[in-house]
């Protein structure tokens, strides 16, 4: 029943993306998503990414090294300075891999970041942005998308980092202004000025948080 619902709902989301000059796709498995990512990318191109649990779960990063790609790998840096330089280099990549914190039924992407290298690359920089998004991230509207960001995605994501910010301690968003808060900038992508720049692969699985 869930798959039937997702089959139907995905078509509405894809049409919404099309109306907003973004490309939408729908697959049933992580393997299909993996295959489609590589279909969308041309070999001998540069590829980078942000901190995405979804992308990590697909094995795409490891596969890039086996194929003819220039890999801009933020995960193999030695220190903060090198990471900063790699993140700046990623800004000029041919392809940027990421997910989204939420997507509305009518195709609006909603993301919230702390360091903001991820949302910066979504807005401008890399020539192409390829998103892999579990259907668990589809929300009714922008208000419910923001609620998902603050009350689901951020408290879970924040557990990866050190510190004692409110949601790390209680598991609940406190709308805080704590040092190191990862909810600093809210980016709502309601349209793409560059047609076909953003590709969103919807997957009939629970991916990310």
For 166, the enclosing helix (H) or strand (E) is helix 166-170
Kindly give the confidence (pLDDT) of every residue in the chain, 209 residues in length, as a single tens digit, with 9 standing for 90 and above: 889 999 999 999 999 999 999 999 999 999 999 999 999 999 999 999 998 999 999 999 999 999 999 999 988 888 989 999 999 999 999 999 999 999 999 999 999 999 899 999 999 999 999 999 999 999 999 999 999 999 999 999 999 888 899 999 999 999 999 998 999 999 999 999 999 999 999 999 999 99
Tell me the CATH number at 56.
3.40.50.10420
Beta-sheet strands, E only, within 31-184: 46-49, 70-71, 95-98, 102-104, 109-113, 128-134, 138-139
Residue 164 in any domain: the answer is no
Nearest to 200 by CA among 154, 149, 137: 137
Q: In the prediction, which pLDDT does 175 show?
A: 93
Residue 90 in any domain: the answer is yes
Residue 176 in any domain: the answer is no
Looking up tokens 């020539």, which residue turns up? 127
Residue 32 in any domain: the answer is yes
The C-alpha atoms of residue 46 and residue 170 are separated, in whole angstroms, by 40
Residue 25 in any domain: the answer is yes
The C-alpha atoms of residue 157 and residue 168 are separated, in whole angstroms, by 9
Look at the chain and report how many structural domains it folds into: 1
Distances (CA, A) of 185 to 36, 103, 110, 111, 121: 30, 17, 11, 8, 14
Number of residues written out for the chain: 209
Residue 136 per-residue DSSP state: G
Which residue range is the domain that position 30 belongs to? 2-143+188-203
Q: In the prediction, which pLDDT does 80 show?
A: 87
Distances (CA, A) of 41 to 11, 58, 74, 173: 23, 16, 19, 37
Residue 75 per-residue DSSP state: G
The three-state secondary structure class of 200 is strand
Residue 181 in any domain: the answer is no
Residue 27 in any domain: the answer is yes
Looking up tokens 């940027």, which residue turns up? 96
Residue 148 in any domain: the answer is no
């Amino acid at each position: 029943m869930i798959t039937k619902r997702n089959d139907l709902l995905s078509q509405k989301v894809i049409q919404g993306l099309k109306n907003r000059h973004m490309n939408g796709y729908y697959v049933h498995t992580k393997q299909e998503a993996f295959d489609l990512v590589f279909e969308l990318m041309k070999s001998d191109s540069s590829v980078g990414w942000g901190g995405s649990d979804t992308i990590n779960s697909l094995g795409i990063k490891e596969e890039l090294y086996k194929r003819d790609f220039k890999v801009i790998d933020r995960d193999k840096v030695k220190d903060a300075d090198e990471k900063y330089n790699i993140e700046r280099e990623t800004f000029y990549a041919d392809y940027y891999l990421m997910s989204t914190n939420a997507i509305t039924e009518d195709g609006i992407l909603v993301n919230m970041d702390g360091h903001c290298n991820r949302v910066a690359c979504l807005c401008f920089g890399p020539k192409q942005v390829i998103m892999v998004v579990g259907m668990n991230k589809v929300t009714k509207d922008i208000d419910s998308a923001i609620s998902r960001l603050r009350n689901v995605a951020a408290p879970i994501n924040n557990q990866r980092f050190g510190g004692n910010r409110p949601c790390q301690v209680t598991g609940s968003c406190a709308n805080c202004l704590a040092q190191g808060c990862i909810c600093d900038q809210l980016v709502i992508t309601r349209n793409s000025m560059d047609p076909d720049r953003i590709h969103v692969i919807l997957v009939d699985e629970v991916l990310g948080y």
